[in-house]
Amino acid sequence: MTLALCPGSFDPVTNGHLDILERASAHFDQVLVAVVANPSKNSLFSLTERQKILASVLSIYENCRVDSFEGLLVDYASRENVDVIVKGLRAVTDFDYEIQMAQMNCRLSGIDTCFFPARNEHSYLSASLVREIARYGGKVEGLVPPPVEEALRMKFTG
Ligand code: PNS
């Protein structure tokens, strides 16, 4: 049984994230989606909100569960007996940072990182752009799942 860990901020989860999570669910026996609790980072959605949205959009995948962690990813991964960390790669701009983290995480814990390339249609998609578009009333349809569209509407228009 292979347990894959998909960590992230998911602030909010986008269709790009969902594509990676769906592919992880197809390739690995169990998928643990872990939302980082980063007190120093000002997130738009609270940790609870991010976890709830993820749990609702991932409920169709029987082998996925959602959790949160704080501190070092590798400490959490070791506690949970994770076999592999899974990340998505959009472009070379992601590569430098992601390879550095993957190598450091492997050095610290022996746990390897497996990368899925983003689909073309998601290569320019990021949660930070989605937040900015939604903040100024732009259209996020097709960029995020419907529950996130609704949650963004509530955040910015009440
Ligand atoms: O969705 P993000 O913001 O790109 O996710 C980044 C995340 C949460 C995977 C990364 O920031 C992380 O692993 N944070 C935990 C702290 C940690 O372990 N830092 C050392 C990495 S070598």
CATH number at residue 69: 3.40.50.620
Give a yes or no: residue 14 inside a domain: yes
Structure tokens at 116: 């899925």
Ligand 1 pocket check for 36: Cβ under 6 Å: yes
Atom of ligand 1 nearest to the CA of 73: 18
Residue 129 lies in a domain: no
Is 71 part of any domain? Answer: yes
pLDDT, position 57? 98
Query: Domain for residue 140, yes or no?
Result: no
Cα(158) to centroid of ligand 1, in Å? 31
Structural domain contains residue 130: no
Range of the domain at 87: 3-123
Backbone angles phi, psi at 86, to 5 degrees: -120, 130
Report pTM.
0.97
Alpha-carbon span 12 to 10, nearest angstrom: 5
Mean pLDDT in consecutive groups of 10 residues from the start of the chain, 158 residues = 98 98 98 91 94 98 98 98 98 92 98 97 96 97 97 92
Ligand 1 centroid to residue 87 C-alpha, Å? 11
In a domain, 154, yes or no: no
Q: Which residue has the tokens 């963004």?
A: 152
Domains contained in the chain, number: 1
pLDDT value for 40: 73
Q: Is residue 79 in a domain? A: yes
- Report angle CA 101, 50, 34 to the nearest 5 degrees: 40
Cα angle, residue 58 at apex, residues 76 and 18 outer, rounded to 5°: 85
Residue 148 lies in a domain: no
